[in-house]
Structure 1
Amino acid sequence: MSVLLNNRNYRNLLLAQITSLAGTGISTIALALLAWDLAGANAGSVLGTALALKMVAYVALAPAIGVWAHKLPRKHWLAGLDFIRAALILCLPFVTQIWQVYVLIFVINACSAGFTPVYQSVLPQILPDRSDYIKALSWSRMAYDLEQLLSPLLAGLLLSSIGFRELFVADTVTFLVSGLLIVFCTIPKALEPKRQKGILHNLHFGLSSYLKTPRLRALWGAYFAVASGSAMLIVNTVVYVKENLKGGEQETALAMSVAGLGSMLIALKLPGWLKKFSDRSAILAGGGLITLALITGSMEPGWPVYLLTCLMIGMGLSFIQPPAGALITRFCQESDAPAYFAANFSLSHFCWFLAYLLAGWSSTALGLSISYTLMATLAVAGVIYARHTYPNPDPEELTHTHSAKDQSSIPVEHSHHFVIDNEHRRWPT
């Protein structure tokens, strides 16, 4: 880690990520409490709808941003979006109507849809060594997990002296700090992709290339399990704790922090494990853990088993999400990385869109036990699809044939590391 931190640009980006994640974690709890304040027992449906709107922004806008990413002044773009998000989040303490929550959440996350794919495409250029990049992905996941662990605890401490609406002010400050850290980064210019066609063609390229790659298609299946687990945590923890366990705001923060602890425990060990085991094994193990946790939750357990359920969901998330970035980088040309990351961002958040709606509305209409059962069903379907789609064995090089370009040439058969690009339009069978 000390070697990575000697890279000033990576250090600033990591600190920016940690800072903004800390604020986002606090405001996630504040948003759940705001939903409860505005809607009471219907908080699950309000929160589910708000977060589904967040996913609409991601799914609709991220691929379009990926098309333009190589033309953007990336440092100013990233910092500017942080500052805009800070201003928008500062409006949340003054919300008095549910529709205002929906509007603000959509606009804030439209900015996030423009930020995250560009940020993800910067990291491989700053850390060109694959080993360093995989470590950085694991540490990024660690930052996320540390946020899940510490932010609820910090929120619990803050809630003992201030109201939950004031927590949004803390999130505003974190985005301002994140933007300033990015301003002092040196971000390399994006590589110009070989594709020079129109916007619609390039938009189609990212999505279709991602879905033509078997491992990435399997990753998308695994994201249905990720979305199912995280949606139940974010949407229904406050409902479960307050209604079933008769807890309060601090107990809600505790349950979320246990999920963060589970995720962090796996993230610490995962880089070493991935040297011995395949990405496929890690992804399927994570999906299995999430499914088991959701089945356990459907039995509506008491405090000890419920906390174990949260721990298992956190562990499952960390088995799947860190290998994702390495898989995407491995199976695309470097110049095409923004388009692939944007496709991953959009497709994965389509899973969250479905999961948030299902988790929020099913818990309100059918009860928490049925809601857990439905989410477990969605998770297991994703795991089965991922297992079926991910190649096993998983060779690095593939033999394939290029057809003759004209009558004077002959087909060419050769082997190399295969990715979908301008020269290779379909996956060899």
Structure 2
Amino acid sequence: MLSLSRLAYDMESLISPLLATLLLAATSYHSLFLGTVLGFSCSAVLVSVTEFPESMAPGNTKFFHRFTGGVQAFWARPELRGLKALNLVVAATTAMVIVNTVVLVQGGHGRSQTHSALLLGAYGAGSMMVALTVPGLLDRFPDRRVMLCGAGCLPLLLLAASGTIHWGRGTSQWIALMATWPLIGAAIATILTPSSWLLRRNSTEQNRPGIFAAQISLSHACFLITYPLAGATGAVLGLAETALVLVTIGLLGSVLAVFSWRSGIEPCTLDASTGIS
């Protein structure tokens, strides 16, 4: 299920840019946005008719505890603190990919929208290939080791991207980017795909929705920091320098994750209302 979830996300990342490029050749931006609205509406209908498994009620707890219980669990549990740090690593790397790919390809290389879609598609393809192999990988290695391996690779890949942007020229630079972006997607998949195991392991049936919601909120809080930073520094300093700034953030997140996970896995004894042991 973890691979299928990640695969669905990556299929969207892979197909959407290509589909948008094809549609822009035949229609206007305004029509494309109308199509997006239609797509969201269809998604809302599908969600509304989907049957979800029943879950236990959180019990008679105060609203404040239900509202903040997931975030409190992330502060209280070493495994979840490590995951929070890895969210920063992922956000730093995806900021470079999502925010600056179009600028890099169409501004730096003078290539077309199709080339931007191809590079984003290569990133998604790398993630998809790893997502399919992660279940077998987790049968052989602990999930935290796999995730830390990906976290260690991402700053190195961003550093390689910075060097490619700064020193690369012409076709050789383009080939290097087409090789680096799938590797970035693959490394990100080694972090995101097993993350649900950590969330389930550190939650109970009652507080699990709050902890999963906290993961979404905290990961997007990291995006809120790194995405504007990637755009602003790219405009002021340049893309190679922006990659170096994001490398620093990624290294910080990796180090924090290692320190959070330096001890063994604790037994899950979370309180059902707050998620704190």
Structure 1 and Structure 2 fold alike (TM over 0.5)? yes
**Partner of residue 256 from structure 1, selected from 120, 142, 165:** 120
CA distance in 2, matches of 1:208, 1:185: 30
Deviation at 1:323, TM superposition (A): 1.1
Number of the residue aligned with 2:268: 418
CA distance in 1, matches of 2:275, 2:190: 31
Say if 2:26 is the partner of 1:161: yes
Deviation at 1:424, TM superposition (A): 9.3
* Cα pair 1:225 1:378 within 8 Å, conserved: yes
Unaligned runs of 5+ in 1: 1-135, 399-416
Distance 1:190 1:170, change over 3 A: same
Amino acid at match of 2:135: P
Number of the residue aligned with 2:133: 269
Number of the residue aligned with 1:208: 72
Amino acid at match of 1:157: L
Deviation at 1:180, TM superposition (A): 2.4
Runs of 4+ residues deviating >4 angstroms: 422-427
Distance 1:162 1:211, change over 3 A: same
Distance 1:190 1:247, change over 3 A: same
Q: What whole-Å deviation, never above 9, does each CA across 1:21-71 have from its counterpart, x for those lacking one?
A: xxxxxxxxxxxxxxxxxxxxxxxxxxxxxxxxxxxxxxxxxxxxxxxxxxx
CA distance in 1, matches of 2:269, 2:30: 48
Distance 1:424 1:237, change over 3 A: closer
Deviation at 1:393, TM superposition (A): 4.0
SS at match of 2:196: helix
Q: What is the identity percentage for the equivalent residue pairs of Structure 1 and Structure 2?
A: 33
Unaligned runs of 5+ in 2: none
Question: What is the RMSD of the two structures over their aligned residues, measured on CA atoms?
Answer: 1.9
* Cα pair 1:218 1:390 within 8 Å, conserved: yes
Distance 1:338 1:365, change over 3 A: same
CA distance in 1, matches of 2:69, 2:18: 43
* Cα pair 2:69 2:273 within 8 Å, conserved: no
CA distance in 2, matches of 1:139, 1:425: 27
* Cα pair 2:100 2:231 within 8 Å, conserved: yes
* Cα pair 2:130 2:186 within 8 Å, conserved: yes
Number of the residue aligned with 1:243: 107
Say if 2:3 is the partner of 1:138: yes
Q: What whole-Å deviation, never above 9, does each CA across 1:266-304 have from its counterpart, x for those lacking one?
A: 011011111111111111121122212211121214101
Say if 2:186 is the partner of 1:322: no
Structure with greater contact order relative to length (CA < 8 Å, sep ≥ 6): 2
Q: What whole-Å deviation, never above 9, does each CA across 1:315-345 have from its counterpart, x for those lacking one?
A: 1111111111121111111111111112111
CA distance in 2, matches of 1:310, 1:164: 27
CA distance in 1, matches of 2:274, 2:208: 16
* Cα pair 1:289 1:315 within 8 Å, conserved: no
**Partner of residue 380 from structure 1, selected from 241, 251, 271:** 251
What is the total number of aligned residue pairs between the two structures? 270
Amino acid at match of 1:172: V
SS at match of 1:420: coil
User: TM-score normalized by structure 1?
Assistant: 0.60
CA distance in 1, matches of 2:92, 2:125: 19
Deviation at 1:157, TM superposition (A): 2.1
Question: Any residues of structure 2 matched to 1:280-295 within 5 Å, and which?
Answer: 280-295=144-159
